[in-house]
Structure 1
Amino acid sequence: MAKLLITGFDPFAGEIINPSWKAVRHLNNTIIGGFEVIAHEIPTVFGKASAIVQSQIEHHQPSVVIGVGQAGGSNAIRMECLAKNRINARKQDNEGNQPKNALIAIEGPASYPASIPVENMVEQIKTEGISAYLSNSAGAFVCNELFYSTLHYVECQNLPIRVGFIHVPYLPEQVANTKRAGLLPSMTEETVVRALTVAIEAIGDRLSN
């Protein structure tokens, strides 16, 4: 059976949870869309996150790799279409790194498109009554660095692996009982899990046709 590797990040920037891993962990060791799903938590650290994912790729040899990250302030599932060869951190990562105006790969292209069926995935998520949309910017922090580095690795190694990245909103508990309460949108963990499940099913449907 084909394998799908999906990753979520640990908490960062003072948060005590990260919605990406909170949701992704539920998918570990499940069968979705014809894939054996392998979930892995990765650190919010430049370079280290992508190195771990590359190691996981070598170990599991998946057909698909999906990174999932937090997009605070978003009110929907954000399907990233483009990974850019750029880092410009507005905050420190979990090891105090804050690179500015740097390239991810010196000899790499300016960008890579996602190689998963992003439009189909968004449409299927929306049929579940869950808000979702396509995005052309994964930011300039660790999420985009992971997205680009994974696509660059797959390209350089000539591996037949589809790669994508999905941003998810805050969880309700991240905004409740704080100064952000009522000001920032959120999405329940159950809804995020359902959205990710449907997204994986859409990949399976597309690749089997």
Structure 2
Amino acid sequence: MPRFLVSGFGPFGRIEVNPSEAIVRRLNDFESVVLPVSYRAVDDFVSDCGLKSGDRWLMLGVCANCDRLRIERFARNVLSDQPDVEGEVRGKRKIDESLPKKVRGALFYRMRLPKGPFVNSESAGDYLCNYLYFAGATRLRGVRVGFLHVPTFETIAESEQLAAVSSLASKLKST
């Protein structure tokens, strides 16, 4: 049976409690992991996660200025000049010069926008959320990956986000 993994990120910068971490920790019916907001941690996890062709991975991260849950259609081949939690700065450049400007994860491919507080988005940004999405989509051949940005709990209550993500994850796991 294919694996279905849900991941979130830990705290960083002004985000002392990352909503993606809180949601992932409460999704009891799914295999889950919380990653540090670190390039090294992302690289290590993608290399060692054991996901294989046919598996699915729903990635979550926070978007502090969003007012809806954003289904990210594309990961961009771009890095940020913002330091990660370990102080590493990769600088504004491409993640991989040999790869296209953007890639699409297959997890949400051809899926209609679900009911609830969701919206489609064309860009996962340029920080660790995007980096994880790009790494998963390009390095894990045959794994259906997708990224969902969640707002802060001040914007949409934790209970509402948890219900929406749980419903979405159940749908994605069964398709």
CA shift, 1:201, in A, is: 2.6
How many Å separate the matches in 2 of 1:113 and 1:140?
Answer: 15
The correspondence of residues 4-23 of structure 1 with structure 2, limited to 5 A, is 4-23=4-23
Using the TM superposition, give the Cα deviation of residue 62 of structure 1 relative to its aligned residue in structure 2, in angstroms: 7.0
Matched-pair contact (CA < 8 Å) for 1:9–1:68: yes
In angstroms, what is the RMSD of aligned CA positions?
2.0
Map Cα deviations across residues 141-170 of structure 1 (whole Å, 9 max, x no partner).
000000001111123xxxx31000000001
Closer/same/farther in 2, CA of residues 118 and 167 from structure 1, 3 Å limit: farther
TM-score normalised per structure 2: 0.90
Higher helix fraction: Structure 1 or Structure 2?
1
Aligned with 2:34 (options 1, 25, 41): 41
For residue 145 of structure 1, the aligned residue among 113, 131, 134 is: 131
* TM-score computed with the length of structure 1 as normaliser: 0.76
Deviation (angstroms), 1:118: 5.3
Kept in 1, the 8 Å contact 2:4–2:173? The answer is no
Percent identity of equivalent pairs: 24
- Structure 1 contact 79–165 (Cα < 8 Å) conserved: yes
CA gap 1:87/1:166 in 2 versus in 1, 3 angstroms? same
Compared with structure 1, are the counterparts of its residues 50 and 79 closer, same or farther at alpha carbon in structure 2 (3 Å cutoff)? Answer: farther
| Counterpart Cα distance in 1 of 2:50 and 2:72 | 20
Preserved contact between residue 87 and residue 102 of structure 1 (Cα < 8 Å): yes
- Residue segments in structure 2 that go unaligned for 5+ positions in a row: none
- For the residues of structure 2 that align with 1:38 and 1:104, how far apart are their CA atoms? 28
User: What corresponds to 1:131 in structure 2?
Assistant: 117
How many residues of Structure 1 are paired with residues of Structure 2 in the alignment?
175
Residues 41-67 of structure 1 show CA distances to partners (whole Å, capped at 9, x for unaligned) of 101012422421331235x88710111
Q: What is aligned with 2:63?
A: 71
Aligned to 1:98: 89
**Counterparts of 1:134-173 in structure 2 under 5 Å?**
134-155=120-141, 160-172=142-154
Give the partner amino acid of 2:33. Answer: H
Name the larger-Rg structure: 1
